[in-house]
Structure 1
Amino acid sequence: MRATDTIFALSSGAPPTAIALMRISGPDAFGAVEALAGRVPSARRASLAVLRDAAGDELDRALVLTFPGPNSATGEDLAELHLHGSKAVVRAVEAALAALLGVRRAEAGEFTRRAFLNGRMDLNEAEGLADLLSAETEWQRRAAGAMMGGAFTRRIEVWRQEVLTLSALTEAEIDFSDEGDVEIQNKHVISEGCIKLHDAIRQIVEAPGVEKLRDGLKIVLGGSPNSGKSTLLNALVARDAAIVSDIAGTTRDVIEVPVSIGGIAFLFLDTAGLRDATDDRIEAIGIERTRAAMDNADILLWLGEEGTGPAHPHLVEIAAKADDPTHARKGPDAVTVSAKTEEGMAQLVATLTEKAKTLLPPPDQFAINARQRDLLAQCASALAQAAEADDWLITAEHLRQARLALDALTGRAHTEDLLDSLFGRFCVGK
């Protein structure tokens, strides 16, 4: 990816479409427009133009817009061609652009990468954009929008300024403690500032992360064989995802079914029935996987005998098969359901969504990912060590490490491998 190249790519959906948006960015973006349209329209004004190739053959009649850098999406000269969205038109315009000297097709995420390198967005905003493009639920959209909008970046900048202030006070102690005209800050004041900042950052680190929003909360259905787990799963996801049979032990493996309910992503897991002993080796493996799934569950729906489920902070007792008078009843705290008559299903869905809201980041607030969480944890650890250090030089070094972690969050400090991994998530036209 050479930043000196002028790049182009289709930024709208795959043709055929009503309109196809072709983006061109780079030092010769306007030269490319002039080569095709015969002129460069006024900045930020849509202009109708006839596009022609090098031989003078008409390619399309399109709307052309130009956005001079640095005040553009990529921070450099940027042009948009709003074409008729047929496959033939798009291919012809792409061929004409590729034939121009110094102009090439963009690679995945290259437009957004240039926006980052040119200071139009930081790493957190770029990651928010990537999450927004892949969002499938309302909660995912809101969290991604908050991250892309810079809410997290603004919080980081506040923390960074506080760290810089603490560093300045520490340096004053190191350099000017013997001068009477300098106000000396004692260790207690600096340590207190480090601890206060550490606690604020740890709150974000320990909050629910974006992974739960993106991958879905794991809802495991557990219980004894033939307790109605598969039937309930099918009712919850509104399709026959699991085989239902009166034969105990029908489900041998963990079945995963993703679904969105109330704008929240869930991953339902149907499991093999639990029993103390079995001579069936395959069933025994399924039971082992069931126990592992229950250990990793965000919410456990227990269809077995009341009070016999594993210890879990979010266990919900389910009295299934309410339509069957011979089936075991449970206490008033259990959710009584019938997958056949739909009795109690609305209550179960409401229970799931209410519990989910306590396990997910609040709507309209940013949610951090694993990279961001690791760097914040490093920053918090450095601040804690700075607060405890007895030597001013050691305190200053820990504060420097805290500042470096914050810089890495926004991209002030970064590696090419990190950028390749991040921007590789985008499509070519982004």
Structure 2
Amino acid sequence: MLPLRSVYGGIFRAAIRKLQTSRSPCLHRLLSTRDGLQVGLADADTIFALSSGHGRCGVAVVRVSGPASATALRRMVGLTHRLPPPRTALLRSITDPCSKEVLDRGLVLWFPGSVPGMRPAEAGEFTRRAFQAGKLDLTEVEGLGDLIHAETEAQRRQALRQMSGELGRLYQDWSHKLKRCLAHVEAFIDFSEDELIEDGVLERVDRSVCDLQAEVKQHLKDERRGERLRCGVQVVIAGATNAGKSSLLNTLCQRPAAIVSPIAGTTRDVVETALDIGGFPVLLSDTAGLRDSSDLVEQEGVRRARERVHQADLTLLVVDSTRLPSDVQQAADFLSDHLRTVLPSLKQPETEKCLLVLNKTDLLPEAQTQKLQQELRRVSGLPAVCLISCQTNEGLKDFLTVLQSSVKTLCGDPLCGAPTLTQARHRAHLQQCAAALAQYQRYRDADLALAAEGVRLALTSLGRITGRVGAEEILDIIFKDFCIGK
């Protein structure tokens, strides 16, 4: 429950199914009446909603906000005159306001507040009111939304950290620095001729802008870890036909998500499934086997496979281990050539974006499997190599450990280091901020007014992330720092 103490009027807790029954025509009539006077819903602004979500459960929470909240509270819990003490839980029977039938017993909490009007709450309106009342900034609102939709433990941790305001505080700190810079530049433009501005003001602004620009650029160099964690790591299974790609997908998701057949080219389209790998979200995609084909449908499947590989955060390159040369060095050369064919743009420093999965090891002599496993890991220039059998699950545990480590590296630890970007809009506004700061440096000596406009644009870009920016704060800094006019 959000701490919207100043805006919502009452909270009722009751069994969800009985509560939904009572919220039909009778409750609507009650909530459209204020102190015995009929109020049209079109002109009303009291809102009510089930805040604990729909579905079967033992406990439900209903929030009501607005001037009719007191009336609803008194009539549904049998209070004739006095309301419960503010912010104090009261155990009461909850009754139908028309038939007086007891619906349930639950806790009632009264949070005094007053908002004119009455109507059912729109989606997200309680949170919107919290933002408008200054209880949350936009990054905290987004963190709350991410927490609601979190499906893995790592997503939950990142959402909680953002909802706590850490990311917003970072941007607010930058905004405060920019406000001071802008105030000083504008004061210099307006009052320097009157000798009311102390020496060295612009030099201090120069240093602040330069330092802040470096911080923003460093913040942007996060390799999209926060966005990956929020939306899921794109992991693509690729390779030649009949290498065992669909078998690997089915093994990982533990269900027959893709058709497995000895006929080459069975998979024609991309098959996707969402997984939780060690607490991190993964969107796993099985793709068509990469080969030349005269079949138009298969050609389209191969095109989609290559496109998906190009977009992937991590590629699992599946290879039929029975096709490897027996000599380890030749096997390494074979894998290097195969890697260049599937991932032509992959560079050696980026090998962590790919895992080599040698499948069908159950068809190899055990001695050869062990030798391959030992020797291939020593070959430089190759990504991590995992030998598995989707038929017997041999090597699967080690493969999952390597996969989890790779996914964690791509997402990062949401609780360590500086808070990361989680939204594409954050990145766009920060890029605009960096470009605006560059404008200040570009026009600093040529036209100070244009340089100041760069600082103003940078401040606006940051304000769009948090939803907070105002000209009054800049004026406050000007008069506070320089005491102009006393």
TM-score, normalised by the number of residues in structure 1: 0.82
The answer as to 2:271 corresponding to 1:255 is yes
Match of 1:161 in 2: 176
1:80-139 deviation digits (Å, cap 9, x = unpaired): xxxxxxxxxxxxxxxxxxxxx954321111111111112221111111101100000011
Question: Aligned letter for 2:335?
Answer: E
Aligned match of 1:296: 311
Shift of 1:320: 1.3
Report the counterpart of residue 265 of structure 1 in structure 2: 281
Distance, in Å, in 2 between the alignment partners of 1:191 and 1:398 is 12
1:380 counterpart residue number: 434
- Give the Cα separation in 2 of the matches to 1:402 and 1:176: 23
Deviates more, 1:130-139 or 1:14-23: 14-23
CA contact (8 A) 2:185 2:452 kept: yes
Q: Shift of the alpha carbon at 1:260?
A: 0.5
| Inter-partner Cα distance in structure 1 for 2:133 and 2:64 | 16
1:65 maps to a residue whose letter is L
Matched, 1:7 2:52: no
| Whole-angstrom CA distance in 1 between matches of 2:56 and 2:252 | 37
Moved more, 289-298 or 37-46: 37-46
Q: Which one-letter code corresponds to 2:409 in the other structure?
A: T
Shift in CA distance, 59/282, structure 1 to aligned 2, threshold 3 Å:
same
Q: In the superposition, relative to structure 1, how do residues 323 and 44 fare at CA in structure 2: closer, same or farther (>3 Å)?
A: same
The within-5 A match list for 1:277-288 is: 277-288=292-303
Write out aligned runs for 1:365-404 (5 A): 365-389=419-443, 390=445, 391-404=447-460
Q: 2:242 is matched by which residue type in structure 1?
A: N
Q: Structure 1, unaligned stretches of length 5 or more?
A: 70-75, 78-100, 415-430
* Count of matched residue pairs: 384
Amino acid at match of 1:362: D
Q: Distance in 2 between matches of 1:413 and 1:182?
A: 25
Q: Please report how far the alpha carbon of residue 17 of structure 1 lies from its aligned counterpart in structure 2 after TM superposition.
A: 2.8
CA distance in 2, matches of 1:199, 1:362: 23
User: Which residue, out of 361, 372, 375, partners 1:322?
Assistant: 361
SS of structure 2 residue aligned to 1:251 = coil
Unpaired runs of at least 5, structure 2: 1-40, 320-333, 378-384, 471-486
Match of 1:49 in 2: 92
CA deviation vs aligned residue, 1:341-379 (integer Å, no higher than 9, x gap): 222222221222222222214322454201222112211
For the aligned residues, what is the CA RMSD?
Answer: 2.6
Q: Which amino acid aligns with 2:175?
A: R
Task: Give 1:353's match in structure 2, choosing from 404, 408, 412.
Answer: 404
**AA of the residue aligned to 2:441:** A
Q: Give the secondary-structure state (helix, strand or coil) at the position aligned to 1:213.
A: helix
1:341 partnered with 2:380: no
Is residue 110 of structure 2 the alignment partner of residue 66 of structure 1?
Answer: yes
> Structure 1 CA distance, aligned partners of 2:363 and 2:255?
22
Distance in 2, Cα, partners of 1:292 & 1:178: 61
Tell which deviates more after alignment, 352-361 or 215-224: 352-361
**Taking every aligned residue pair, what percent have the same amino acid on both sides?**
40
Cα shift at 1:318: 1.9
Q: Hey, what's the Cα distance between the residues in 2 that align with 1:366 and 1:285?
A: 37
Measure, in 2, the Cα distance between the counterparts of 1:267 and 1:52.
Answer: 47
Please state how far the C-alpha of 1:187 moved relative to its aligned partner.
Answer: 4.9
Separation in 1 of the partners of 2:43 and 2:58? 32
Q: What residue number does 2:335 align with?
A: 306
Q: Contact 1:382–1:399 at 8 Å: present in 2 too?
A: yes
Instruction: Give 1:296 deviation, angstroms.
Output: 0.7
The answer (yes or no) to whether the contact 2:46–2:117 under 8 Å persists in 1 is yes
Rg larger for? 2
Higher fraction of helix: 2
Residue from 112, 119, 124 that aligns with 1:104: 119
Distance in structure 1 (CA, Å) of the matches to 2:101 and 2:232: 50
Aligned-partner Cα distance in 1 for 2:43–2:134: 14
Shift of the 245–196 alpha-carbon distance from structure 1 to 2, 3 Å rule, reads: same
1:244 and 2:244 correspond: no
Q: Distance in 1 between matches of 2:99 and 2:354?
A: 71
Question: What is the distance in 2 between the residues matched to 1:269 and 1:388?
Answer: 46
> Match for residue 467 of structure 2?
411
Q: Against the structure 1 CA distance between its residues 200 and 3, is the aligned structure 2 distance closer, same or farther, given a 3 Å change threshold?
A: farther
Q: Distance in 1 between matches of 2:117 and 2:180?
A: 47
Bigger relative contact order, structure 1 or 2 (CA pairs below 8 A, ≥6 apart): 1
Q: Which residue of 1 aligns with 2:19?
A: none
**In structure 2, the residue corresponding to 1:105 is in which secondary structure?**
coil
Match of 1:131 among 146, 157, 162: 146
2:240 pairs with 1:200: no
Residue-by-residue CA offset, 1:372-427 (whole Å, 9 max, x unaligned): 2211221121112112213111111111111111222121269xxxxxxxxxxxxx
User: 2:355 corresponds to which letter in structure 1?
Assistant: V
CA contact (8 A) 1:143 1:367 kept: no
Query: CA separation of 1:3/1:256 partners in 2, compared to 1, >3 Å: closer, same or farther?
Result: farther
- 1:166 to 1:111, Cα distance in 2 relative to 1, 3 A: same
Q: Would the aligned equivalents of 1:41 and 1:66 in 2 still touch at CA under 8 Å?
A: yes
Q: 1:28 aligns with which of 60, 68, 75?
A: 68
